[in-house]
Amino acid sequence: MDSYFPIVIDIHEKKCLVVGGGEVATRKVESLLQAGAEVTVISPEAGDSIREWAQDGRLHWRNEVFSENDVTEFAFVIAATNQSEVNYAVYEAVRQSGGWVNIVDRPDLCNFILPSVVKRGKLTISVSTSGASPGLARKIKQTIEQEIGPEYEEYVDFLARIRQQVLAEVDNHGQRKKIFRELLQDRFVEASEAERYAMAAELVKNVAEEYVGRQL
């Protein structure tokens, strides 16, 4: 496939299947669990993490080999075994049912792919090479992780709260636009939480006074 349409979707409580129980499958399962998916793993063997998650009730592990009838109830299916014939069988089963399938290391068989992701709270940054080079995607992800630090989690929460406040209290579109633009300055990222809100209050006040001054 030459290109993919990038999309961010809500898979909370969606039924997702991972075929395989090794390291690669574990990484896929972990990502799905973090997104709140309802995960089933089908594999005769499973690593420690998958076993622990199953024991804790975070996922359902079916200790058995894959069957083509296993895919029909799932919104998304990921094949992550080390057996190419099993992965291809998963692909064929999902293709016939018209579902969404990702075959690890076979982008030509995927109708969706999983990008490298950097998460900072509500902020999600994804990197994809459309399956051409997962290694390059991981390298770029590492660069982003260095540039976009953990401080962005609180900063994005701050922006969300201030946005709702401004929308409720500031009627003028031009004023809103200027406030939102100024809130993106690095000084707000680098400030402490208390400083951010004080600076935001001062910003809203100054923009309002500037607007009134123009009307006089």
Span 32-81, pLDDT tens digits: 999 999 999 999 999 999 999 999 999 999 999 999 889 989 999 999 99
Q: Is 211 exposed, middle or buried (0-12, 13-18, 19+ CB in 10 A)?
A: middle
Q: CB-based contacts of 97: which residues, under 8 Å, 6+ apart?
A: 71, 72
* pLDDT tens column, 136-185: 999 999 999 999 999 999 999 999 999 999 999 999 999 999 999 999 99
pTM: 0.82
SS3 assignment, position 91: helix
Question: Which amino acid is residue 193, in one-letter code?
Answer: E
Q: Would you place residue 1 in the very low, low, confident or very high pLDDT band (cuts 50, 70, 90)? A: low
Helix spans in the chain (H)? 23-34, 48-55, 84-97, 134-147, 151-169, 173-182, 186-190, 193-215
* pLDDT tens column, 181-209: 999 999 999 999 999 999 999 999 999 88
